[in-house]
Amino acid sequence: MAGKVLVVDDDASVQRLLQYTLKQEGYEVLIAGSGAEGLALWQRESPSLILLDAAPQGIDGFEVATRIRGDEAPGHHVPIIMLTSDKDVQQKVRALRAGADDYLIKPFHPAELLARMKSLIARFAPSDTLMGRPPMGRVHAYYGAKGGVGTTTIAINAAIALQGMGRRVCLVDGNLQFGDHRVFLDLGLDRKGIVDVVSAPAMDADLVKSIVQTHDSGIDLLLAPPTPESADLVTAAHMHQILEILAGMYDYVIVDIDKRLDDVNLMVLDVADTIFAVMTADLSCLKNVRLVLETIGHLGYEGNKLRLVLNRSNAFTGINVKSAEGALRRPIELQIVNEYRGAISALNSGAPFMVAKADSVLGRSVLDFARTVDKSSGDAVAQLAPVAGR
C-alpha cells in the first residue's frame, strides 16, 4: 500500500508526527507549509493522497480542495482527508462540499488515520493500475458452526482488513432470509442487493457493478434481500453465476452464509476456494464442528479446503485449544482473540471496529488473521466448480 502522501499543514509538530507515522508504514512523505505550496506540490508530484489542514498559511484548505477538484484531469481523483481542530458539523459539511473525501478532527489516533488513508487509496486507485493486475478471484465462504459465534463480525472486518492491504474485496451477504449486513453496516432497506441482480432480464458484469454498494471502508457489498420472503427468488444457479462474475472482478469474494446446508449454501461451499468454519471452544459448538467435518468429508472436498477459525480464543470456557483439537482430531489453524464488548459495540453502532478501532487488540488480531489468509491464498486464479450435481 506504500505510496506518496502530501501533507499540507503549517504546524511543525503535526508535520513531524505525520512524517514519522507515515514513513513507518512505508509511505513517501511530501511536506507543504502553505496552501499555495501544497497546490504546487500536488501538480508536480501527483501524490496518492493529500492530508490537508483546514487552515494552512495563505490559501485555506477549503479553497485548496476546491482548486484541486476543478483542475483534476478527467478520470483522475486524488483522495483528500481534511484535518481540523473544529468540531462544528458545518465545517465538516464545508470540507466535503469543497471536495474532501474524509474529515478528521485533531487530535486523532494515528491508527485511525492510517485505516482511513488505506481505504481511500485502495478505493481511488487509478483504473489503469487496477487493470494492469488481474484479480486473484478467490472465493471464501465464512460458515458458522452455530449461531452467535461471530461469523458475520469476522467476515465484515476481515474484508475491510484485506481491502486496507490493497486487495479488491466484495462482501456478499449470503444469509438470504435474515442477513445482517444492512444493520451492522448502517445501511437502509432501500439499498439495492442480490434480488435486483437476479430479477434483471440478463445477468452480466455491468449489471453486477451497478448493483454492488460501496461502503465507507472501501469494500463493495452485495446485500441480502430486504425481506425474508424475497429470498426465494435467489436460486443455487443464480448464486453460482453471481460468484463467477464477482470472481472475475475482485481479488477476494467473501460470502457470509448461515449454518443451513440448503441448495444455495451447498453451492457456495462448492464454489469456494476456502471454507472458514468459525467456532468457539464450547461443547455444543465442538459437536457441531464434528458434524460439519463429517459433512465436508461426505461431499468429497479436499481436506485443505476447510480451515477452522477459533473465535474468542482467549475466553475462559474450560476447554483449551489443545483439548478442542484433540476432540476434533485436526488442528485449529486460525484464532481471533476475545473482545466481546468491543465487537458488540461496533455492531450496534454500525461502525466496524476495523474502521473505528483498528488499533484495538481485536483489530490487530483480525489484521493478523487477514495477513495469514492473504499469504496462504497466493496469486492463483480461482477455478469455480460446475453447477451440476446439487
Residues 312-335 have pLDDT tens digits of 877 767 788 888 888 888 889 899
In the structure, what pLDDT confidence band is assigned to residue 389 with cuts at 50, 70 and 90?
Answer: very low
Residue 7 three-state SS: strand
- Which of 130, 158, 178 is the C-terminal boundary of a domain? 130
Pick the closest to residue 30 from 12, 8, 13 (CA basis).
8
C-alpha cell at 5: 502522501
Answer yes or no: do 24 and 144 share one domain.
no
Q: Do 39 and 179 belong to one domain?
A: no
> Would 363 be classed as within a structural domain?
yes
Residues 117 and 166 placed together within one structural domain of the fold: no
Shared-domain flag, residues 168 and 276: yes
List, for residues 358-388, the tens digit of each pLDDT value: 778 888 899 999 999 998 876 443 344 444 4
% of the chain exceeding 70 in pLDDT: 91
- Whether the pLDDT of residue 101 is over 50: the answer is yes
Q: Does 270 lie in the same domain as 315? A: yes
Q: How confident is the model at residue 148 (pLDDT cuts 50, 70, 90)?
A: confident
How confident is the model over 152-160, as a mean pLDDT? 92
Which pTM does this prediction carry? 0.67
* pLDDT at residue 222 greater than cutoff 60: yes
* CATH number of the domain encompassing residue 208: 3.40.50.300
Question: Mean pLDDT over residues 265-287, rounded?
Answer: 91
Tell me, yes or no, whether 50 and 139 share the same domain: no
- Mean pLDDT score, 236-265: 92
Same domain, 169 and 275: yes
Whether residue 108 is found in the same domain as residue 156: no
Sequence-distant (≥ 6) Cβ neighbours of residue 328 within 8 angstroms: 286, 289, 290, 293, 308
Query: Which residue, 130, 165, 185, sits at the end of a domain?
Result: 130
pLDDT of residue 303: 73
The least confident of 7-16, 115-124, 181-190, 360-369 is: 115-124
Among 130, 161, 195, give the residue marking a domain's end. Answer: 130
Share of the chain above pLDDT 90, in %: 45
How many distinct structural domains can be found in the chain? Answer: 2
pLDDT in tens, 333-362: 899 887 767 677 766 666 788 877 777 888
Q: Determine, yes or no, domain membership for 389.
A: no
What's the pLDDT score for residue 125?
67
Domain match, 123 and 203 both:
no
pLDDT digits (tens, 9 = 90+) for 18-48: 999 999 888 999 999 999 999 999 999 999 9
Rounded (10°) angle between helices 361-377 and 340-349: 90
Domain that holds residue 46: 4-130
| Encoded amino acid at 274, one letter | T
What is the CATH number for 50? 3.40.50.2300
Mean pLDDT taken over the chain: 86
d(CA 289, CA 113): 39
pLDDT at position 384: 42
The Cα–Cα gap between 386 and 349 comes to 40
Mark whether 249 and 163 lie in a shared domain. yes
pLDDT value at residue 382: 38
Closest by Cα among 2, 31, 4 to 17: 31
Say if residue 390's pLDDT is above 60.
no
pLDDT tens-digit series, residues 44-94: 999 999 999 998 988 999 999 999 999 998 878 999 999 988 888 888 889
Write down the residue that cell numbers 476447510 correspond to: 306
31 Cβ contact list (under 8 Å, min separation 6): 7, 9, 15, 19
Q: Is residue 266 part of a domain?
A: yes
Q: Is the pLDDT of residue 130 over 50?
A: no
Is the distance from CB of 7 to CB of 15 less than 8 angstroms?
A: yes
154 and 294 in a single domain? The answer is yes
* Rounded Cα gap, residues 203 and 221, in angstroms: 17
Identify whether residues 38 and 106 lie together within a single domain.
yes
| 145 in a structural domain | yes
Residue 386 lies in a domain: no
